[in-house]
Structure 1
Amino acid sequence: MNDSPGWATPGSSPSDGDRPGTPADQPDTDGGAQQPDRPAGDPKWSAEQPPPGQWSSPGTPETPPTPPPPPQPATGGWGQPQNAPYGAQNGPQYGHPGGSGQWGSPPAAKPGVIPLRPLGLGEILDGAVATMRTHWRSVLPITLVVATVVQVIGVFVQRFMLKDLILTPSDDVTAEQMFDSLGSTLGASAVNQFIQVLGTIVVTAMLTMIFSRAVLGQHSSVSAAWRDARPQLLRLVGLTLLMALGALLMGAVLVLPGILADNIGLIVLGFVVWLPLLLWLGIKFSLASPALMLEKSTVLKAFARSSKLVKGAWWRVFGITALTGLIATLLAAMIVMPFQWAGLIAFGGGMDALADGSAQTAWGTLILSAIGLIIAQTIVMPFQSGVTVLLYVDQRIRREGLDLELARAAGVENYG
């Protein structure tokens, strides 16, 4: 018999005539064929007879034994034969880590909220929501406190800076009063925006640390997030102000000449050039904030890192950022609008008060609107910050193999 594993020659058992102690003239108790008597000296009979089970019928050619199968090539970890060209696979096809194949491929390691491999849009959005849901004890207090402080200050600013607001000009209103009203409006808007930016910087700094730990499957308390973010906080303020200042200077260079020349066409041309350029640079440097916080770099290095990570993927980063902004805007509007209309109807005096501007300074309207904004910002701010951090992580995985470093940091054994 052939002793190769998993293979046997035709004829399942040796002949009984080869068994010691078995007479040739007795029938086979196991159901085998009886060995016939060989006449002495008969030349037609061979000295060796084939064992039972290998006799062929007259006129039928003897079936040759089936050759053993060729040895299968050794395969690597993903089903790829060793020393074979890429793409020449035997057997089932396997996909990338975490993908699906005919027999299933090894899933990507997922120590935290995302799998450690290049991410899709749904995985980035789901990772942000999963972090908010899993680590809500750290995420919600940060955003809730910051949003509350921002909105309380905003209520007082609107109440006292917009009390003399004039919305409808009349014969009794002088040009000086109109300019004063416009100045009050712009001043209140500037103060609110400044407070909002400062609050966003604090939230972004702390949430970046929480999301970075959530990727590794680690929990982070509010105090730990503040301790990790505090050394880079001033640099993050400088980065934000530098981006705002750059946008204003670029607008001044492109639009101001048309204003000084009192040329409408030149003004429109300046805006047409300024807005797309502002959008392009905004996406190009959109990953500077997580790069600054997580790489402990300087402001200029953070800009360079963001530019490098976004290069070649501008449209993808733009699409994910725009979709995130759209989702956040719609969600915030769904939350804020009922509070604003309730405040307007219950305390603002209705549509007439809205027309003359008194509704915007009524305490009831301001307070209810602030409550709606607090709830909306508590939900929206961590969602947007989380998407930005995970987009940064995804771009580094795609370009720099960050998943290997993350796996080692998370304690995943034999990854990669």
Structure 2
Amino acid sequence: MSDSQTPYGGIPQAAFGPPSADYRQLPPPAPAAWAPPPRPGLLPLRPLSFGTLLGAPFQVLRRNPAATFGSALITQLVTSIVSVVVIGGVGFLAFGRIDSALPEDRDAVTAGAWATVILASLIPLALSILGSALLQGVLVVEVARGTLGEKNRMGVLWKAAGRRLWPLVAWFAVLLGLIVIAVGAVIGLAVLIGVVGSTAIGDAAIGVAIGVGVLGALALTASGIWLGTKTALVPSIIVLERRGMLSSIRRSWGLTKNSFWKTFGVLALIGVILYAATQIITTPVSFIGGLVTSFLFPTGASADSASFVAVFVVTYALTLVISLVLGSIAAVVQSSAVAVVYIDLRMRREGLDLDLMRYVEARHAGGAHAVPDPYLVSSQRNG
């Protein structure tokens, strides 16, 4: 046998082992087990375009309506019922005492009634803060997990948001407190100028007080827009990065640096869209309700007052139901928009999209338990 016919280029085959070791006699490798491709998530794992930033919050509502819209409807419904029962019941009892009070005690009883109603209103206010914090947490978790292709039930989302509920409540309480203090300061300053200045410059003090009030309102509006945009990401950071309130404020301030107008533009445009859609629906309903009442009772309450009251109650109840539904939709979309902007900014600044891809791939391969939470920053993962 010539070298050209000798296996392995003329080198004796014995040098490579027996003929049974020939690779041509080995069985072919077993094919890898088939696995379905990863489920597409709520957001593409790349920096988002402006159109995606606007459309994704509405997609959250359509993708998981039972958990998102259901959570918003429950929180708003409970808050509304408690407000009506507490404030209405306390107000009825408190002001009912005025008619039976002695003339010399009527002023004191009236002042006590107003003080009682104001104190009672703190209960639904606290419940509203709690509900808003819970809903914000639920929607942040839904957007974050939905981006990874997950779809969770309401109970799972509530449980996840509940772990960060109290930092969220603290943030919403501080935010509300700052708004009340700022508005009260402007109103108090205007009233003080009007009262004190009237003794010095007479009626002109009223015009000065009005001017101070208008300028103060404009300054508060501008400051509120700026501070609101700079701290808009605080709830998302509290929930996803598990930070405290002060640390979340600093973090939101840093993430929105050089992205103020983009963040403000997305949130403001979504707010305008929701407001316009709400007005388009509620205005005809209110108009038709008033038109029907005027048509049935052109002179107002007639002898058949029970029918007038029934029509009024039905119209009011229908308007209230529509307002609750639209308010719930608006709450879902606006809260989701904040979470979407947060994820986009982290993709652009910190490469979050790469961390999300690694997590999805590891989960697809069955090793997600060995991959840290992709929403934690690198220092938290290493710690």
Task: Compute the TM-score of the two structures, normalised by the length of structure 2.
Answer: 0.64
Which whole-Å CA distance do the structure 1 matches of 2:297 and 2:354 have between them? 60
Matched, 1:133 2:79: no
Question: Corresponding residue for 1:224?
Answer: 156
Counterparts of residues 156-175 of structure 1 (less than 5 Å): 156=85
* Secondary structure of 2:164's aligned partner: helix
When structure 1 is superposed on structure 2, of 366-375 and 276-285 the one drifting more is: 366-375
Q: Indicate if the aligned counterparts of 2:129 and 2:169 stay in contact, CA closer than 8 A.
A: no
Residue type at the aligned position of 1:222: M
One-letter amino acid of the structure 2 residue matched with residue 146 of structure 1: T
Aligned length: 290
Give the partner amino acid of 2:174.
L
- Note the C-alpha offset of 1:231: 1.5
Which residue number in structure 1 is paired with residue 356 of structure 2? Answer: 406
Q: Which amino acid aligns with 2:361?
A: G
Partner of 2:324: 374
- Contact 1:291–1:297 (CA<8 Å) still a contact in 2? yes
CA contact 2:54–2:266 (8 Å) conserved in 1:
no
Alignment of 1:257-336 (within 5 A): 257-262=189-194, 263-264=208-209, 265-336=211-282
- Is residue 114 of structure 1 aligned with residue 64 of structure 2? no
2:179 counterpart residue number: 247
Identify the residue that residue 133 of structure 2 maps to in structure 1: 201
Q: Is the 8 A contact 2:238 2:248 kept in 1?
A: yes
Cα contact 1:310–1:317 (8 A) shared by 2: yes
For residue 321 of structure 1, what is the amino acid of its counterpart? Answer: L
Deviations 1:16-35 (A, max 9, x none): xxxxxxxxxxxxxxxxxxxx
What SS does the corresponding residue of 1:312 show, helix, strand or coil?
coil
Call closer, same or farther: CA 1:118–1:276 in 2, change over 3 Å.
same
Which entry has the higher C-alpha Rg, 1 or 2?
1
Cα 1:380–1:275 change in 2 (3 A) is closer
Q: Which deviations, in whole Å up to 9, do the C-alpha atoms of 1:185-229 show, x marking residues without a partner?
A: x95987766554433222111121111110111111111111111
> Which of the two has greater helix per residue?
2
Moved more, 249-258 or 216-225: 249-258
Instruction: Judge conservation of contact 2:148–2:360 (CA < 8 Å) in 1.
Output: yes
TM-score (norm 1): 0.60
Displacement of 1:266 after TM fit? 3.5
Quote how far apart the aligned CAs of 1:336 are. Answer: 3.2
Identity rate, percent: 25
Is residue 336–residue 369 contact of structure 1 (8 Å, CA) maintained in 2?
yes
In structure 2, relative to structure 1, the CA distance for the partners of 1:353 and 1:280 (3 Å cut) is: farther
**Counterpart for residue 343 of structure 2:** 393
Alignment RMSD, CA only?
3.8
Secondary structure of 1:323's counterpart equals helix
Q: Distance in 2 between matches of 1:183 and 1:143?
A: 31
Query: Hey, what's the Cα distance between the residues in 1 that align with 2:52 and 2:337?
Result: 10
3-state SS in 2 of match to 1:259: helix
Instruction: Give 1:66's aligned residue.
Output: none
- Larger mean CA deviation between 329-338 and 295-304 belongs to 329-338
CA distance, structure 2, for counterparts of residue 403 and residue 261 of structure 1: 55
Give the unaligned 5+ runs of structure 2. 1-37, 96-106, 195-207, 302-307, 366-383
